[in-house]
Structure 1
Amino acid sequence: MQIKRAIETIPGGMMLVPLFLGALCHTFSPQAGAYFGSFTNGLISGTVPILAVWFFCMGASIRLDAAALVLRKSGTLVLTKIATAWVVAFVAAQFFPDNAVGTGLLSGLSVLAIVAAMDMTNGGLYASIMQQYGTSEEAGAFVLMSVESGPLVTMIILGTSGLASFQPQVFVGAVLPMLIGFVLGNLDKELRVFFTRAIHTLIPFFAFALGNTINLAVIVDTGFTGLLLGVGVIVVTGLPLILADRLIGGGDGTAGIAASSTAGAAVATPALIAEMAPQFKAAAPAATALVAASVIVTSVLVPVITALYARAMRGAPEEQADLETDEALAEPDISAG
C-alpha cells in the first residue's frame, strides 16, 4: 500500500492528516488517553515534549555558514514577515478580544490565530517554489526561515505589542532546545545529519497530539474563517514581502510571494502559547483549527500565485532558459582578443 505517497498528495499532508485523525479521536473519544494511560496517553497528550525534541532537531539542521551566504535575502524576508505580523497584531488587538470571536462570520478568529498564521513561513514550500522560479541563493533563503519555527517569534510579537507578558525565563525556555541543537549541529557535522533526519519523522507525532486538543465541531464552525485567514495571510504579508524583496533583497518580488505562506509548524503555536499565557487558553482550540486551514489554503494558492507572478515578470521558465541561451550565443567571443 502506498499510504505515505497518498498522504503526501495532500498539501501539508504529513501534518494535516495526523492532525485530523487526532481531532477524530478527541471528538469521539476525548478520554482515550486517560483510559489507556502509559505510552498511548503519551502519544495522545505529549504535544510539548514531542515538539521540544522537534525544535532541538530543527536547530541542529541550521548551518551557520549556509545562513551567512543567504543572509541578505533570507534576513529581508524573515524580518519583513515578522514586522508585518507585529503591525497586524497591534491593529487586530483593537478589534478582537483575547478569546476567540464566539459567533458570526468571523467565528473563532482571535489575535492569537492571526499572529500564528502570519509570522511563520513554510520554508519547504518556499524552497521548492524558488528552485523553479528563482536563483539558488533565493532558494537557499529557507535556511534562515527555520529560525521562525517555534513559539518564540509569536511570544515576542504578543509581548512587544502589549497583548501578553512573559517572564524572561519563559523566553529562554522557548528557544533553548533550538539553540542547543544549533550549537551541536554546527560543532559536529555528523550530529547535524543525525538529528536532521528526525525532523520529518516527528511531524506526524506532534500533529496527532495537537489534533487531540481539537473538537471537529470547531473545524466546522471555523471553515469559512480559515479560508479567509489563509487568503488574508497571502495578501497582507505578500505585498510587503514583494516590496522588501525588490527594494532591499535585490530580487523582482517573486521570493516575496513565495514566502507569503503559513508554515505547518505554526499549527502548534496556539497550544504552546496557551501553556505560557493562560489568557489565550480559551482561544487556542479555534486558533489551532484556523491556522491548520491557513496552512492548506496557502499551500495551494501560493505556488499558483508565485508562478503567475514569475511568468509576468520573467516569462515562463522554459522561455527564460531559451532567452538566456540565445543571448549567450549572440555574444561575441572576446576572450581571444
Structure 2
Amino acid sequence: MQIKKTIERVPGGMMLIPLLLGAIINTFFPAAGKTFGSFTNALMTGSQPILAVFFVCMGATLNVKATPYILKKGGALLGAKILTGTALGFLAAALIPNGLMVEHGLLAGLSVLAIVASMNDTNGGLYMALIGQFGRKEDAAAYSVMSLESGPFFTMIALGMAGVAAFPLPTLIGTILPLLIGMLLGNLDEEMRDFLGGAAPIMIPFFAFGLGNSLNLETVWKAGLLGLLMGVGVVVITGTVLIIADKLTGGTGVAGIAAATTAGNAAAVPAAIAAVDPRFLPVAPSATMLVATCVIVTAILVPIVTAWYARRVAAQTVPQP
C-alpha cells in the first residue's frame, strides 16, 4: 500500500488528513480520548508538547550564515508577509464589532486571528519547489530566512499591534524560545541540524491529529465558502505585496508570487495563541479550519498563478528580432 504517496497527493496532506481524521473522531466519538486514557488520550489531546518539539526542529534548519543576497531577499519577503498580515489585522480589528470574531451572517467565524495567521506564514516546501522550476536557486535559499515566520510569535505581535490582545513579554519570548534553541543547536553543530531538521516533517501529522481532536465537523462545514474566499484573498493580497518586494530587491516577481501561500503548520497557530490567551478559546476552532482551508486553496492556486507569471516574465525578457 502506498499510504504516504496517497496522502501527499493532497495539498498539505500530511497536515490536513490527520487534522480531518481527528475532527471526525471528535465529532462522532467525543469521549474516545477519555475512554481509552493513557497514551491514546495523550496522542489525541497533546498537540502543544508536540508543537514545541516541532519548533525546536524547525529552528535547527535555520542557518545564520546566509549570504547577503539571501538575507536581503528573505528579509524583504518575510517583512512583506508580516506587514501585510499586521495591516489586515488592524483593519479587521476596526471592522469586526467585538474586535475578535464575526458571530452572525455570511462572514460568521471570520476573526482577526484567522486573517493574521493565514497571511503570516509561507508554505516552504511549495515555495522551494516552484522556485526550483521557475526561479533562481538563490531565491530558494531565501526561505532559510523566511522560515522565521513559523510559530505563533509574529501572529502574537500582529494581534498586539492591532489592539485585540496584549501578551506579556515572557509569554512572547516563550513562543519563540524553542525556535531559538533549535537555531542555536543547528548552527553550533551541523550533525544536530541534520538530526533535528529531519524530524520536523515527522511531527506534522501528530500535532495535526491532536488539533483535529479539538474540532467539530460542523465548524469545518461552516468554514467552507468563507475559507475559499480567504484563500483567494491570501493569494491576491499577499501576492501583490510580495511581487513588489521581490522586484524591489532585484527579482522578477516570481519568488514573490511563489511565496503567496499559507503554510500547513499555520493551522496550528490559533490553538497555540488560545493556549496562552484564553480569550481566543472560542475563536480558535473556526480560525483553525479557516486557516486549514487557506492551506488547500493557496496550494492549488499558487502553482497555477506562478507558472502563468513565470511565462509572462520569460516572454517579456526574450530579445526582440
**Which category describes the TM-score, using the shorter chain as reference length?**
over 0.9
Cα distance in 1 for partners of 2:287, 2:161 equals 20
Structure 1 residue identity aligned to 2:165: A
Cα distance in 2 for partners of 1:87, 1:95 equals 13
TM-fit CA distance, 1:169: 0.5
The C-alpha deviation readout for 1:35-78, integer Å capped at 9, x for no partner, is 11111111101111000000000001111123655111111000
The alignment's C-alpha RMSD in Å is: 1.6
Equivalent residues in 2 for 1:145-156 (5 A)? Answer: 145-156=146-157
The C-alpha deviation readout for 1:281-325, integer Å capped at 9, x for no partner, is 111100000000000000000010011011011149xxx9xx79x
Structure 2 residue identity aligned to 1:48: Q
Contact conserved, 2:110 with 2:287, CA < 8 A, in 1? yes
Cα distance in 1 for partners of 2:18, 2:313 equals 38
Question: Is 2:74 the counterpart of 1:45?
Answer: no
Cα distance in 2 for partners of 1:214, 1:67 equals 43
Equivalent residues in 2 for 1:299-314 (5 A)? Answer: 299-314=299-314
Q: Structure 2-normalised TM-score?
A: 0.96
Cα distance in 2 for partners of 1:171, 1:20 equals 30
Q: CA, structure 1 residues 98+46, in 2 after alignment: closer, same or farther (shift >3 Å)? A: farther
- Per the alignment, residue 328 of structure 1 pairs with none
Contact conserved, 1:98 with 1:280, CA < 8 A, in 2? no
Question: Is 2:233 the counterpart of 1:232?
Answer: yes
The C-alpha deviation readout for 1:132-185, integer Å capped at 9, x for no partner, is 111011111111121000000100111122120001100111011111111011
Q: Which runs of 5+ in 2 are unaligned?
A: none
- Per the alignment, residue 268 of structure 2 pairs with 268
> What SS does the aligned partner of 2:89 have?
helix
Q: CA, structure 1 residues 52+67, in 2 after alignment: closer, same or farther (shift >3 Å)? A: farther
- Per the alignment, residue 62 of structure 2 pairs with 62
- Per the alignment, residue 182 of structure 1 pairs with 183
- Per the alignment, residue 167 of structure 1 pairs with 168
Q: CA, structure 1 residues 50+298, in 2 after alignment: closer, same or farther (shift >3 Å)? A: same
Contact conserved, 1:70 with 1:138, CA < 8 A, in 2? yes
TM-fit CA distance, 1:104: 2.1
Q: Which moved more, 1:65-74 or 1:193-202?
A: 65-74
Structure 1 residue identity aligned to 2:264: G
Q: Which runs of 5+ in 1 are unaligned?
A: 325-337
TM-fit CA distance, 1:85: 0.7
> What SS does the aligned partner of 1:160 have?
helix
Q: Which moved more, 1:281-290 or 1:155-164?
A: 155-164
- Per the alignment, residue 256 of structure 2 pairs with 256
Cα distance in 2 for partners of 1:21, 1:67 equals 42
Contact conserved, 1:126 with 1:259, CA < 8 A, in 2? yes
- Per the alignment, residue 278 of structure 1 pairs with 278
Cα distance in 2 for partners of 1:36, 1:183 equals 39
Question: Is 2:291 the counterpart of 1:291?
Answer: yes
Cα distance in 2 for partners of 1:28, 1:153 equals 35
Cα distance in 1 for partners of 2:150, 2:192 equals 20
Cα distance in 2 for partners of 1:90, 1:71 equals 28
- Per the alignment, residue 334 of structure 1 pairs with none
Contact conserved, 2:187 with 2:193, CA < 8 A, in 1? yes
Q: Structure 1-normalised TM-score?
A: 0.92
TM-fit CA distance, 1:29: 1.1
- Per the alignment, residue 130 of structure 2 pairs with 129
> What SS does the aligned partner of 2:261 have?
coil
Cα distance in 2 for partners of 1:24, 1:199 equals 25
Cα distance in 2 for partners of 1:99, 1:86 equals 14
- Per the alignment, residue 78 of structure 2 pairs with 78
Contact conserved, 1:89 with 1:157, CA < 8 A, in 2? yes
- Per the alignment, residue 332 of structure 1 pairs with none
TM-fit CA distance, 1:102: 2.5
- Per the alignment, residue 29 of structure 1 pairs with 29
- Per the alignment, residue 331 of structure 1 pairs with none
- Per the alignment, residue 112 of structure 1 pairs with 113
TM-fit CA distance, 1:101: 2.0
Contact conserved, 1:20 with 1:211, CA < 8 A, in 2? yes
Contact conserved, 2:93 with 2:100, CA < 8 A, in 1? no
